[in-house]
Amino acid sequence: MKEWARGIVAASAAAVFASVLWFHGVPVQGQAAAYRAPRAIDGKPDLSGIWEAMGTANWDIETHVAKPGPIIALGALGAIPAGLGVVEGGPLPYRPEALAQKKMNAENWLTLDPVVKCYMPGVPRATYMPFPFEIVQSPKQIAIAYEFAFAERVISFTLTDKDKSPVDSYMGWSRGSWDGDTLVADVTGLNDDTWFDSAGNYHSDSMHVIERYTPTSPNTMMYEATIDDPKTFTRPWKMSMPLYRHVEKNAAVLDFNCVPFVEELQYGQFRRKAVSN
């Protein structure tokens, strides 16, 4: 058989094989049946458990290459790993003046990044820091306790559109609802003392965040956060990433009281000045 004929036969066989797989229900990408999560007491998806993101978004939510860390003595152990980023749709749409501020932040991140000083990480950064967090669920509210800096927040299902935060805060004011099996948190009342990452990406006190938590398997959830901040960005944008449940039998959110770790950094100069006087 000539070579061209063999090629036609092979192609035809491949097409037939693909058709057989299709009609016999072999799943392909995008066709997997929707996962139905276990139900809580009120019939809603039960998201309770200890969860954690895996990735490099805490270093930089955008695509980035590996680079040396700020402490030379740590060598490769202190280097910043590369990451593909979690932002959808290309570069962050900064306003020109905000982009200039971002670049300045990046150049001085070790002294300016709020989490270096043990400030609470805010929303959405608390979700993808390299620390676990625990979700505790009831029909009227969902409490989330984060390991870093004892940060915590409550997503309330009893708040209405008319309810406003009495004061801006690090973790904001979260109004909850359900969209099918997806938990939706409408977050306002955020201050501007948090960043998205250690690459200098930041926001203003006008930021509005819509979070979506969608269970995708017994031990995974898809997390999405849509950011709307007209003072900083020209349009809303979204980040997304999977979250993973801790399944080890002794899983727990432990203490990470970082205040003692930064006392010298924050207040050492005053102590030294007092001693010298």
Whether 53 and 28 map to the same domain: the answer is no
Whether 16 and 139 map to the same domain: the answer is no
Question: What pLDDT does residue 34 have?
Answer: 87
Assigned domain for 42 exists: no
Whether 256 and 223 map to the same domain: the answer is yes
Assigned domain for 44 exists: no
Look up the domain containing 11 and give its range.
Answer: 1-33
- Give the pairing type, strands 49-53 and 133-137: antiparallel
Query: Half-sphere exposure of 14 toward its Cβ, with a 13 Å CA cutoff?
Result: 6
Assigned domain for 73 exists: yes
Question: What pLDDT does residue 1 have?
Answer: 46
Output helix, strand, coil percentages for the chain, rounded to the nearest 5: 25, 30, 45
Number of domains in the chain: 2
Whether 2 and 100 map to the same domain: the answer is no
Question: What pLDDT does residue 7 have?
Answer: 45
Q: Give pLDDT tens digits for 126-140.
A: 999 999 999 999 999
Whether 63 and 157 map to the same domain: the answer is yes
Assigned domain for 273 exists: no
- How far apart (Å, rounded) are the C-alpha atoms in residues 148 and 256? 6
Q: Give pLDDT tens digits for 59-118.
A: 999 999 999 998 889 999 999 999 999 999 989 999 999 999 999 999 999 999 999 999
The stretches in the chain having pLDDT less than 50 are 1-31
Question: What pLDDT does residue 271 have?
Answer: 65
